């Protein structure tokens, strides 16, 4: 009886709120708290918008009202409105994520922060990725990690573009963020925790034992503990240096984001942990999806594949055997960059 009464109160409260905002787009709010979250999270092909979007667009149009991740939401599939929002982020519109995602990514995550603090965190990341570092370090790392993935393929084997793209981007990000070697036991353990973490980010925000969200929170704690241990190790090394050894060891130090942040910023331990985790998340997810979709769409465009192949073979022909890609090579990849 108590549960039924609570449910009815929630239903009446939601109905009362909707009556106060009759100028909102059409739509269906669904059940209290859950709303349309379960339907929204159902897996669908990356080349479609999914059944949830298709059904709602058909019923209500490209802009509709829904209840997702525990909050009333306006959903837009209208390119014009989406462009307006993106171009005016920080002016007319403020970026935000559902509270459940913020709880997993952390309150200091760049994806959750807004305003001046977001600009500060973004500035720190961009300062690390200076143009000189891109030229001297990152291009070679991309080449090396791509070669590692390709060398792991057996002759005649069938591979998943999505899985291989995830492997490549995770190893690349782990190397540049914390100098973790591809295939090392600690890297593989971190990857395992990260996979569990990711499943919770895109799950219903139900913090109960056994749910993906609860498991993601546990994996987040394990990842932060790992980052904290790496931070302590870097700081211990810095305090143990003798004055005469500083210049020699500085050349051998890890050229990674964690080391740079510890040495060049005044961020707290919690801020550094959330920054590292958010960059691992943002860099890995966006890049791996883009690579997998590129492979998918290229199969339908043989002329683009031929042009890509010709451009890469021309660069390879002019390189000494065994030399990795350079910034000059990258600048010659005019068509590749368009893809």
How many secondary structure helices (H) and strands (E) does the chain include?
Answer: 17, 2
* Comparison of pLDDT for 21 and 313, the residue scoring more: 313
Q: Rounded to whole angstroms, how far apart are CA atoms 271 and 95?
A: 19
Q: Rounded to whole angstroms, how far apart are CA atoms 186 and 138?
A: 22
Q: What local confidence, expressed as pLDDT, does residue 45 receive?
A: 81
The full set of domains in the chain, from first to last, is: 2-93 (no CATH), 115-299 (1.10.630.10)
Q: What local confidence, expressed as pLDDT, does residue 1 receive?
A: 39
For residue 15 the two structure tokens come to: 């109905």
User: Could you tell me the CA-to-CA distances from 143 to 148, 246, 327 in Å, in that order?
Assistant: 9, 31, 11
3-state secondary structure of 63: strand
In terms of average pLDDT, the best of 74-78, 126-130, 153-157 is: 74-78
Q: Rounded to whole angstroms, how far apart are CA atoms 160 and 291?
A: 12
Q: Rounded to whole angstroms, how far apart are CA atoms 326 and 336?
A: 15
Q: Over pLDDT 90: what percentage of the chain?
A: 33
Contact 136, 325 (CB under 8 A): no
Contact 125, 279 (CB under 8 A): yes
Contact 112, 118 (CB under 8 A): no
User: DSSP letters along 232-294, please?
Assistant: HHHHHHHHH--GGGHHHHHHHS--SHHHHHHHH----HHHHHHHHHHHHHHHHHHHHHHHHHH
- Residues whose CB falls within 8 Å of the CB of residue 35, separated by 6 or more in sequence, listed in order: 29, 66, 67, 68, 70
* pLDDT tens per residue, range 59-118: 999 999 998 887 888 999 999 999 998 888 777 887 777 776 777 888 888 877 877 888
Phi and psi angles of residue 276, each rounded to the nearest 5 degrees, phi first:
-60, -45
- Mean pLDDT to the nearest integer, 13-39: 71
pLDDT band at 55 (very low <50, low <70, confident <90, very high): very high
Q: What is the C-alpha radius of gyration for the chain, rounded to an integer number of angstroms?
A: 24
* pLDDT tens per residue, range 250-297: 544 557 889 888 888 888 999 999 999 988 887 777 888 889 989 999
User: DSSP letters along 245-261, please?
Assistant: GHHHHHHHS--SHHHHH
Q: Rounded to whole angstroms, how far apart are CA atoms 334 and 339?
A: 9
* Comparison of pLDDT for 170 and 156, the residue scoring more: 170
- Nearest one of 55, 61, 99 to 78, comparing CA atoms: 61
For residue 319 the two structure tokens come to: 């390189």
Q: Over pLDDT 70: what percentage of the chain?
A: 88
User: Could you tell me the CA-to-CA distances from 77 to 20, 30, 98, 155, 284 in Å, in that order?
Assistant: 25, 20, 19, 43, 25
């Amino acid at each position: 009886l108590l549960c039924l009464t609570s449910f009815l109160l929630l239903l009446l409260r939601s109905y009362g709120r909707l009556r106060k905002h009759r100028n909102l787009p059409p739509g269906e709010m669904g059940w209290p708290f859950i709303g349309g979250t379960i339907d929204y999270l159902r897996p669908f092909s990356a080349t479609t918008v999914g059944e949830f979007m298709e059904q709602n667009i058909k019923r209500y149009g490209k802009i509709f009202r829904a209840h997702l991740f525990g909050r009333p939401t306006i959903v837009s599939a209208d390119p014009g409105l989406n462009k307006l929002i993106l171009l005016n982020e920080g002016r007319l519109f403020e970026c935000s994520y559902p509270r459940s995602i913020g709880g997993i990514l952390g309150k200091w995550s760049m994806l959750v922060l807004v305003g001046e603090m977001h600009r500060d965190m973004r500035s720190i990341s961009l300062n690390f990725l200076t143009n000189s570092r891109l030229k001297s370090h990152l291009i070679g790392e991309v080449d090396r990690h791509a070669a590692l993935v390709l060398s792991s393929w057996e002759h005649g084997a069938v591979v998943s573009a999505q899985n291989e793209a995830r492997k490549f981007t995770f190893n690349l990000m782990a190397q540049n963020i914390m100098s973790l070697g591809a295939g090392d036991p600690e890297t593989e353990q971190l990857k395992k925790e990260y996979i569990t973490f990711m499943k919770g980010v895109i799950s219903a925000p139900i913090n109960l034992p056994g749910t993906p969200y609860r498991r993601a929170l546990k994996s987040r704690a394990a990842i932060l503990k790992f980052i904290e241990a790496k931070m302590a190790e870097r700081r211990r090394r810095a305090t143990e240096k003798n004055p005469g050894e500083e210049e020699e060891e500085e050349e051998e130090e890890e050229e990674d984001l964690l080391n740079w942040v510890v040495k060049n910023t005044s961020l707290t331990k919690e801020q550094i942990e959330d920054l590292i985790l958010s960059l691992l998340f943002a860099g890995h997810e966006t890049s791996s999806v883009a690579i997998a979709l590129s492979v998918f769409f290229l199969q339908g465009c043989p002329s683009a594949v031929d042009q890509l192949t010709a451009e890469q073979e021309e660069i390879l022909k002019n390189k000494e055997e065994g030399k990795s890609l350079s910034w000059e090579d990258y600048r010659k990849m005019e068509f590749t960059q368009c893809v």
